[in-house]
Amino acid sequence: MASYDSDEEIDYSTDPDWSHITPLPQDDGENPLAQIAYHPDYVVAMSYLRGVMAVNDHSPQVLKLTADIIGMNAAHYTVWGYRFKTLMALEASNSLEGEKANWSWRKELDWVQSIAKQYEKNYQIWHHRQLIIDHLNDPTGERERTNEMFASDSKNYHVWTYRQWLVKRFSLFDKEELDTMELLLKEDVRNNSAWNHRYFITLGRLGIESPPEGVIDREVKFAKDAILTAPQNPSPWNYLKAVLRKGNINVVSLVDFCGQFAPIDSEDDISSSHALDVLSEIYDQTGDLGKAEQALMLLAAKYDPVRKNYWRYRKRLLGSGESVPVASEKAPAVHATV
């Protein structure tokens, strides 16, 4: 095997590279549950994988076998683990970049990216990448790689989890990170994942620490500006409320801001159910129970009718102090050991 090529077909039964491995067929018993109509190539490759695992073979051709299987089942966690262990073994014996394997961590990362673009809803790919970057201890280019993924799916949960790990692992709480979130939100102000990441890098990571001077004001303004462009978007409303809590600012301070989107005495001008919801909280707190009830009834009757049971339930709780406790942070947002 002179070079590595994942598209190259392998005939395991005739290839001399594989003559030392006994393929082990799957034992599925007499009448299995959930039997899958496997592609014949998958059946053969999996038999060789079992054969390889049985003898703990981590030689260069295993990279080919594992790539072959990943191409047919990218969610195969065992094969990813086996591949990682093989890469580590080849590196340890100085043979990863040798003539036989002719591979490198860089080539692996490029290949992984191409697989990630093919199979977007996949956790294992990102976990594999994480293991490699952690091992190499170098995040260079990784943010760009995740940005490429956001260009095709800006809410990919696995990619965001990876991005958050990357930022934490290499302390990338910098202007570039904030600018990227600003860009993503400019492109799509409804991208809740980007809102969440923005919160994480500005305030969430602090746990119970106080935020630096000016951050609360900046984030309040950022959220309010976003609400002005799309008042019915839940993401910046949740963000705004969280920022206020973090800054120990009472939600009552939003009374005029909410009034712009929910003038409760001028029904036809109401443009946001979220503003009505916050107003009901505010009036409950200030003891204006009549107005609080009015806001909730507008929600139930017209502005958020699918939740009418909930708004009526909230109405029953008015004045009890139970509906919306305005407690300060009860649990630190970031766990100390993570």
The H-assigned helical ranges of 230-329 are 234-246, 255-261, 273-286, 289-298, 308-317
Q: Measured from the CB atom, is 60 or 231 closer to another protein?
A: 231
Rounded Cα distance between 10 and 26, Å, is: 20
User: What is residue 300's DSSP assignment?
Assistant: I
What DSSP designation does 281 have?
A: H
Q: Nearest-CA neighbor of 283 among 294, 274, 268?
A: 294
State in angstroms the smallest separation of the CB of 213 from another protein: 21
Select the span of 97-105, 208-216, 219-227, 236-244 touching another protein (CB under 8 A): 236-244
- By CB under 8 A, tell whether 260 contacts another protein: no
Residues 202-221 that bind another protein (CB under 8 A): 203-205
CB of 105 to another protein, least distance (A): 16
Which residue among 157, 182, 221, 286 contacts another protein (CB under 8 A)? Answer: 157
Give the integer Cα–Cα distance in Å for 43 and 55: 19
Shortest distance (Å) from residue 57 CB to another protein: 10
Residue choice 48, 200, 222, 283 for contact with another protein (CB under 8 A): 200
* Least Å from the CB of residue 69 to another protein: 10
Neighbours of 93 (CB within 10 A): 12
Residue 4 vs residues 15, 61, 119: alpha-carbon distances, Å: 15, 9, 21
Nearer CB in complex with another protein: 168/291: 168
The verdict on 131 binding another protein (CB under 8 A) reads yes
**Which residue, 110 or 310, has its beta carbon nearer to another protein?**
310
Least gap, CB of 242 to another protein (angstroms): 4
Task: Name residues contacting another protein, limited to 161-190 (CB under 8 A).
Answer: 161, 164-165, 169, 187-188, 190
Does 328 engage in binding with another protein (CB under 8 A)?
no
Among positions 7, 9, 11, 30, the unique one binding another protein when judged by CB under 8 A: 30
Does position 26 interact with another protein (CB under 8 A)? The reply is yes
Q: Looking at 8, 148, 225, 322, which residue binds another protein (CB under 8 A)?
A: 322
What is the full DSSP assignment across 152-195? T-TT-HHHHHHHHHHHHHTT--SHHHHHHHHHHHHH-TT-HHHH
Q: How many CB atoms lie within 10 A of CB 241?
A: 18
Q: Give me the least distance between CB of 160 and another protein, in Å please.
A: 6
Using CB under 8 A, pick the residue from 13, 19, 78, 250 that binds another protein.
Answer: 78
The only residue of 98, 141, 287, 305 in contact with another protein, by rule CB under 8 A:
305
Contacts of 162 (CB under 8 A, 6+ apart): 126, 129, 130, 146
196 belongs to the binding site for another protein (CB under 8 A): yes
Query: How far apart, in whole angstroms, are the C-alpha atoms of residue 57 and residue 19?
Result: 13
Phi, psi (degrees; rounded to nearest 5) at 236: -70, -25
Q: How many residues lie near another protein (CB under 8 A)?
A: 97
Judged by DSSP in three states, 45 sits in helix
Helix orientation angle between 157-169 and 142-150, rounded to the nearest 10 degrees: 160
C-beta of 99: minimal distance to another protein in Å? 26
Q: Which of 9, 11, 34, 256 binds another protein (CB under 8 A)?
A: 34
Contact 76, 127 (CB under 8 A): no
29 part of the interface to another protein, by CB under 8 A: yes
